[in-house]
Amino acid sequence: MSTIDIGLGGYKIIQNRNKNGKKMMSYIVTTPNDKVVVIDGGLKEDGADLKEKILSLGGVVHMWYITHIHGDHVGAFINIMQDTNKIQVDRIYYDFPPREWIQEIHPSGARSLDEVLGVFKSLDGELIQAKRDMQFSLDGIEIDILSDARYYSETNNINETSAAYRFKFPNGKVAIFLGDMMETSGGYLADYYGKKLKTDIVQIAHHGQWGIPKRAYKLMDPKVCLWPTNEDIWQNDNGEGYDTGPWRIFEIRKWMDDLEIGVHGIMKDGEVIII
């Protein structure tokens, strides 16, 4: 576990560690008054660890934000919510493209969608379809929806339907979570917001293996990068050794060097807590 202190004023961002070395994305945000926010959650096999952590924080998730329907993001949510001993979830935020489109380009994504929608039907919490420019708040945090699934028809990639969320803390610190956004959605993000994207913390898109354009990161100009990245992707190792994979991780890492970002929290190294 590592701790990064940038002065969140009693709030915390936790980048959860993966299980069995696989790629996934899972974050918890906590407040001084014991409110809990979850972003995605990881694979199904990450569900038990995430549930244990939520229970240790009181057993209630006041807001659960889902970026997109891929199993390495929603699997733990499905696992936890299908458990007969469910935790309490007050509100869930999401935006998904049409099932027919998902089925055509990514059948396993359609199966994940069906599981998530099945879970939705059994929940008592409020379901909120998160659309760009919506704003929400919790215990002093202002949460902006920066992007949604609206660009799905321009691509054949579920990652491009990722919702992006911005958390503004009471003392002015800002964190942006990008899910698996890619070049099309990331380009629109940069065009729409421009310099308003300035942030202190950014979650590197698509585990660092690809993602949004460099110009979007340049507009964000973060001080801290959170990488939901496993060892294989970090080394661009597809099983044949160092730098034998198809991913652009070394290019993305160089971008961050070019932008002179010196603080990084990487999932492969264990849990990361920002305070």
Q: What would the pLDDT profile of 164-201 be if each residue is shown by its tens digit?
A: 999 999 999 999 999 999 999 999 999 999 999 999 99
Report the number of distinct structural domains present in the chain. 1
Residue 265 belongs to some domain of the structure: yes
Is residue 103 in a domain? yes
**Residue 257 resides in a domain:** yes
Answer yes or no: is 82 within a domain: yes
Q: How confident is the model at residue 271 (pLDDT cuts 50, 70, 90)?
A: very high
For residue 221, pLDDT over 80 is answered with yes
Pick from 16, 29, 127, 31: nearest CA to 75: 16
Q: Residue 178 maps to which CATH number?
A: 3.60.15.10
Is 76 domain-assigned?
A: yes
Residue 275, domain member (yes or no):
no
pTM: 0.97
| Beta carbons within 8 Å of 133's beta carbon, 6+ residues apart | 144, 145
3-state secondary structure of 36: strand
Please say whether the beta carbons of 51 and 87 come within 8 A. Answer: yes
Range of the domain at 39: 2-270
Q: How far apart are CA 210 and CA 130, in angstroms?
A: 24
Percent above pLDDT 90 for the chain:
96
> Does the residue 38 lie in any domain?
yes
Q: For residues 18 and 69, what is the distance between their CA atoms, to the nearest angstrom?
A: 18
Model confidence over 141-155: pLDDT tens digits? Answer: 999 999 999 999 999
DSSP per position, 220-237: H--SEEEE---HHHHTT-
The two structure tokens encoding residue 53:
């952590």
Position 27 in a domain: yes
